[in-house]
Structure 1
């Protein structure tokens, strides 16, 4: 049975731009997609909204590859080298920052993977609930405000801190909980340097979304794309272009330690959503 994705290419373009621009801002791209689909009348069951969500996230992944191409190459190279020489893992972890970062990313995947396996059905249903997305935006606003309790963080990332960042990413599978906001804030709460926290938040997204995209691609190959390929392609390309712009803007903004200003936006959109829905 062919995948049903009931949206036009221009609706996919709008949602792809929304995804790309909001993925790296701590305002929950998933909430904007869910609410955007509701406004455009695309939230009915069977529209394949989670599949679209996964593919536009893949577009933002491509933007990460573009902006962080050298760091990604280092991560891949160090990981492959370590896999060939397992006896050198301890030394590489101490002496090679790219390999250490790769290990920390792997650690974040543990709670994320467990949470997805246990609550997959809940997360899929959540993408049809715009009221939940609006309510969770208020939670994101609170998370952003709490960064005021940790002024001028300057520490480094550790394995334990990475594990808690992974737990935060698990909760961010609920639409409305900003993934970048939850992970960056959790790192800041633990006294991690802001630029380091932001870079790690973006890089740790790579294996999660690549895995989700692979799973959805296999499902689509089994079901048949039908006419779904056009909106998926348009949305993915739009998210890619917008994501490149957003990364460059947000990295500079995060370094200044002004995340709490996004809280007002989350409260406004979340409050309006709950009031109007």
Structure 2
């Protein structure tokens, strides 16, 4: 892999990671255009670097929220921060399960399969449109059950082409959760998974 190829993939990751357009799907398309064979030998290193950059950016933006969650997690009192921290941990379980047991299989299934990736991108678009048009009141609070459902949406988004933020935020909206809280929860719940993927 050349420096230019690495930079191009980094730009793709940076531009698409925080938008509901599936960074993984666009990375697959970018790899196909650049030539998969030239990337295979350094693919694992590239993945770690891209995820590290994503984690650092997310941690910086949400540093106050993360600090409150960490403090709340070790608090004996039933504070909102402690409850939110437990919701984040619960939401990780479905994606962690899929990632541990099916990540390699899914990678092999989608590698170089642009038709499958594009189909998932279309599915993401349909989900976003459906959530946008749905008549919901956005008045419900986040609960443990809803956190797990959103976690299942995140697990499905392991498929390249399914936007993680798009899937989790859309699911939250369909569950009548406030949009601001939905976006905050979506980005905070992914940080432990990104750090785990780097390990």
TM-score (normalizing by structure 1): 0.67
User: In the alignment, which residue of structure 2 is the partner of 1:118?
Assistant: 101
User: In the alignment, which residue of structure 1 is the partner of 2:80?
Assistant: 97
Relative to structure 1, the CA distance from residue 29 to residue 43 in structure 2 (aligned partners, 3 Å threshold; closer, same or farther) is farther
State the shift of 1:211 in Å: 0.5
CA contact (8 A) 1:161 1:190 kept: yes
Q: Is 1:130 aligned to residue 106 of structure 2? A: no
Q: Which has the higher contact order (CA 8 A, sep 6+)?
A: 1
User: In the alignment, which residue of structure 1 is the partner of 2:90?
Assistant: 107
Q: Determine which of 20, 25, 41 is the counterpart of 2:19.
A: 25
CA contact (8 A) 1:45 1:128 kept: no
Q: Distance in 1 between matches of 2:57 and 2:65?
A: 13
Q: Secondary structure at the match of 2:40?
A: coil
Q: Determine which of 141, 165, 172 is the counterpart of 2:125.
A: 141
1:153-192 equivalent positions in 2, closer than 5 A: 153-192=138-177
State the shift of 1:50 in Å: 5.1
> Any runs of at least 4 consecutive aligned residues in structure 1 with deviations exceeding 6 A, and if so which?
none
1:200-232 Cα deviation digits (max 9, x unpaired): 100001100100101xxxxxxxxxxxxxxxxxx
Q: Distance in 2 between matches of 1:211 and 1:183?
A: 19
CA contact (8 A) 1:108 1:167 kept: yes
State the shift of 1:135 in Å: 1.2
State the shift of 1:42 in Å: 3.1
Answer with 21-30 or 146-155: which moved more.
146-155
Q: Distance in 1 between matches of 2:26 and 2:178?
A: 28
Relative to structure 1, the CA distance from residue 173 to residue 62 in structure 2 (aligned partners, 3 Å threshold; closer, same or farther) is same
State the shift of 1:121 in Å: 2.1
User: In the alignment, which residue of structure 2 is the partner of 1:13?
Assistant: 7
User: In the alignment, which residue of structure 2 is the partner of 1:210?
Assistant: 195
TM-score (normalizing by structure 2): 0.91
Unaligned 5+ residue runs, structure 2?
A: none
Q: Distance in 2 between matches of 1:185 and 1:50?
A: 30
1:142-168 Cα deviation digits (max 9, x unpaired): 111111113442221110000010000
Task: Give the CA RMSD over aligned residues.
Answer: 1.7
Give the number of the structure whose alpha-carbon radius of gyration is greater: 1
Aligned positions, number: 197
CA contact (8 A) 1:26 1:179 kept: yes
Relative to structure 1, the CA distance from residue 129 to residue 100 in structure 2 (aligned partners, 3 Å threshold; closer, same or farther) is same
User: In the alignment, which residue of structure 2 is the partner of 1:256?
Assistant: none
Relative to structure 1, the CA distance from residue 189 to residue 203 in structure 2 (aligned partners, 3 Å threshold; closer, same or farther) is same
Q: Secondary structure at the match of 2:88?
A: helix
